[in-house]
Amino acid sequence: MSAPLRIGVAGLGTVGCGTIAILEGNREVLAARCRRALVVTAVSARSRSKPRPVPMDRYRWHDDPVALAHDPEVDVVLELIGGETGAAPAVIEAALQAGKPAVTANKALLAYEGARLARLAEGAGTDLAYEAAVAGGIPIVKALRDGLAGNRTTGVVGILNGTCNYILTTMRETGRAFEDVLKEAQELGYAEAEPSLDVDGHDAAHKLALLAAIAFGIEPALDAIHVEGIRQVQAVDIAYAEELGFRIKLLGIARATERGIELRLHPCMVPVATTLAGIDGVFNAVRVESDAAGSTLYVGRGAGAAPTGSAVVADLVDLARGFRAPPFGVPAAELAPPSVASMSEHIGAYYLRLTVDDRPGVLADIAACLRDEGVSVESMIQRHRATDQPVPIVMITHETREASLSRALDRIGHLDTVREPPRMLRIETV
């Protein structure tokens, strides 16, 4: 066998401890597969005394994670600290500058600095690996970058945040409101005490930026992604979706069009018969559309100690075997600035829900607003109540341009008979 691959782990939270547990528990099978041992030699974290599920006393301890990167007894550095500033980027940069491979699960950092760090790695003749940064235990980075390398990718569509998927699933199954289910998700540990990174869509947008970079050979372009979270999704919309044959999912979409690459992350109405509609709970799923392989689907747990640790170890196995690939599939110098399609030019069908006074002429006024902007209605649900309370009108449009629909909804929202801001969801046939 070759000499052991000596590993330094910076960050001993959920993922760091999960990774060490896999390396220790699967020591023999990993050595057999790599023809060399994978050995943790050094660790670093903010607190030595914090209780952890795996013992740390057998490893050399560094209070300074950058010092760990310079440790001569460390061949590869795992950055599992997280965060876009501070120790995390310092550790990665120190490792790469020392000619050591860096493995990270830091999706936020890579979404902002991925192209720069890829150039730094390639300039130093070493590697930057990040399978764990996207979709937890699903090996989607390797599938897209390596397994589908012979294809021209035309689109990537994914459920990329397990917290949001759990909330939307539970709202559908129970009829409960968003805030109530969010509180439950926090109590179960699926959502953070400060949940905005998940429920406002930012976590999933980080992942989408990385997938789009690999799929289309572009620089990660987080700022170019249209991002909407799930706070505005109401139980009534989920119930109407079910009645109409849809389910609501938070989807990340990167798709090549004649107008440029669509980069968008938002709740979508998905036909119930499609595979993505059936991905429930904390699971993630990614569907890749490509010319030769066609449509391929990848499903699994998107977070947690073991699934994410599994992805970290997969990168270590590649390094131990001597496998090398550009981080984003092409040399960093060849990553192109993205040509992004304007969201206003998106063409698709839409779900609309309006809350209006139940009196003659209301529907005609709404129809006129839609007609004047060239928006055609495919179907409608209108229910009357035997009271003076406002009533809902639900519409499904034919395909239309988003800018036209936005103008129509702005006019509708200013009608005296419309009692709430119009609700709109995009429909994706995926």
User: Which one of 100, 107, 142, 207 is the catalytic residue?
Assistant: 207
Task: Please give the structure tokens belonging to residue 14.
Answer: 């959920």
Phi first, then psi: give them for residue 274, nearest 5 degrees: -80, 155
Q: Which residues contact 313 (CB under 8 A, 6 or more apart)?
A: 19, 22, 23, 26, 30, 38
Q: Which residues contact 311 (CB under 8 A, 6 or more apart)?
A: 105, 131, 132, 136, 137, 138, 139
CA 156 to chain centre: 11
Q: Which helix (H) or strand (E) holds 77?
A: strand 76-79
Find out whether 113 and 43 touch, Cβ atoms under 8 Å. no
Beta bridge partners of 370: none
Burial category of 379 from C-beta neighbours within 10 Å (exposed 0-12, middle 13-18, buried 19 and up): exposed
The CA–CA distances, whole Å, from 169 to 145, 157, 232, 250, 272 equal 31, 18, 15, 11, 13
Q: Where are the alpha helices (DSSP H) in 124-256?
A: 140-142, 162-174, 178-188, 196-199, 202-216, 235-244
Amino acid at 379: S
C-alpha angle with apex 228: 307 to 279, nearest 5 degrees?
40
Helix (H, G, I), strand (E, B) or coil at 298: strand
Find out whether 162 and 170 touch, Cβ atoms under 8 Å. no
Active site residue 249: no
Helix (H, G, I), strand (E, B) or coil at 63: coil
User: Which amino acids are annotated catalytic?
Assistant: 207
